[in-house]
Structure 1
Amino acid sequence: MTAPVRRVVVTGSECTGKTTLADRLGRQYGAPVVPEFARAYAARKGAAIGVDDHWPIVRGQVTAEAEALARPLAAARSLIVLDTDLLSTVAYAQHYTGQCDPDIEALARERIADHYLLLDIDVPWTADGIRDRGDRREALHALFIETLERFGAPYTLVRGSFDERLFLAQRATDAVLTR
């Protein structure tokens, strides 16, 4: 019998080290990593994300996850690591536009991952042309907590130095894999 594929999502505010941690966890566990679709989408767009961008981002993120799961490597593993997911899309939609399509929220609810690693904002913020709200980190972090709790998503707050973050993330991931 094949073990179910567990999904662990690295999530949180911009510039908290999500991509670095997701990539490190993927290497550590030999698991596929699904990149954050919204970041690439925003870079290609070259302008602010609006309400009309929410569904293309959702479709891109869902497709990227499905493609990762379809690869032979994923089929042989019991873990996939996601650098954000649809709950992140819900939080960012609320943050940037003050609204989120109820159908996006329903789809996000159907796709709740096995565990979320919520990265704290206790690391320096760095502007890069895409990250644009360093002055609103506290509000966005609070919105992520509210979103995770409203959706009943299991999560671990991950904070501290990179080594401390990695340790906490590995401990939470190991707990998911032993369930």
Structure 2
Amino acid sequence: MSPEPESPAVGTRARVPRIVVTGGESTGKTTLAAALAKALGSLWVPEYSRSYAEQVGRALTWADVEPIARGQAAVEDAAIERWRAQFGRSRDAPPLVLDTDLVSTTVYAEHYYGACPEWIMAAARERLGDLYLLCEPDLPWEADGVRDQPAAGTRLHSAFGERLRTLGARVAPVRGIGHTRLEAALAAVRTALVSPAVDSGR
């Protein structure tokens, strides 16, 4: 793949308070992201790669990595503009909730293809969220035709943890089933919101 001339929409306009629900496959990210946004009274951004996979209707390949990254950035930026329109003037605005982000794209690219385009790595670093809720692989596996095999769960979880540490991201592990998982996520978000480690002005 040729180098990307510039990462999509990276800059001050993309810096709003962002909570990213992340982790491996079948860890309840989408369910948690939707429930978390509802509990916080905020907006949430669905995972782009899933809708992309459903749209192309075939197994994903290395050639899909860059389109997925561009699409993920685009849906995030569209949600950021909606967030600004709805909450931009509020002093106690809730954070935007993301069901994964470009960090996930980097991890999956390396997991499946052994490499990730450098511009995506750079964009993931520049667009780093304020808090990552790392979902533990402690839920029953649910096959859906898109996910990998359950044996990959532990490896992926470790890969996510290592990537987030390398990026210097703020991470809170989330475990438990149903309401317990949501309460753990809410507790982590509340702690982050009162801590100076979250820079909502980025």
Task: State which of 89, 100, 125 in structure 1 corresponds to 2:141.
Answer: 125
- Aligned residues of 1:32 and 1:73 also touching (Cα < 8 A): no
Report what 2:54 is aligned to. 43
1:46 deviates by 2.3
Report what 1:173 is aligned to. 189
Unaligned stretches of 5+ residues in structure 2: 1-14, 196-202
1:12 deviates by 0.5
Give the superposed CA RMSD: 1.4
Q: State the alpha-carbon separation in 2 of the partners of residues 25 and 123 from structure 1.
A: 18
Report what 2:22 is aligned to. 11
Unaligned stretches of 5+ residues in structure 1: none
Alpha-carbon displacement from aligned partner over 1:39-75 (angstroms, at most 9, x marks no partner): 1111222222222111111111111111111112243
- Give the structure-2-normalised TM-score: 0.83
Letter in 1 for 2:109: A
After superposition, residues 78-97 of structure 1 pair within 5 angstroms as: 78-97=94-113
Q: What is the aligned residue count?
A: 176
Letter in 1 for 2:86: L
Task: State which of 50, 64, 86 in structure 2 corresponds to 1:73.
Answer: 86
Identity of aligned residues (%): 45
- Aligned residues of 2:41 and 2:94 also touching (Cα < 8 A): no
Letter in 2 for 1:31: S
Letter in 2 for 1:144: F
- Please identify, of 25-34 and 169-178, the stretch whose mean Cα deviation from structure 2 is larger: 169-178
- Aligned residues of 1:49 and 1:96 also touching (Cα < 8 A): no
Task: State which of 101, 123, 136 in structure 1 corresponds to 2:152.
Answer: 136
1:137 deviates by 0.9
Where has structure 1 moved over 3 Å in runs of 4 or more? none
Q: State the alpha-carbon separation in 2 of the partners of residues 131 and 33 from structure 1.
A: 22
Task: State which of 12, 15, 33 in structure 2 corresponds to 1:22.
Answer: 33
- Aligned residues of 1:6 and 1:177 also touching (Cα < 8 A): no
- Please identify, of 111-120 and 39-48, the stretch whose mean Cα deviation from structure 2 is larger: 39-48
Report what 2:116 is aligned to. 100
Report what 2:173 is aligned to. 157
Letter in 2 for 1:80: L
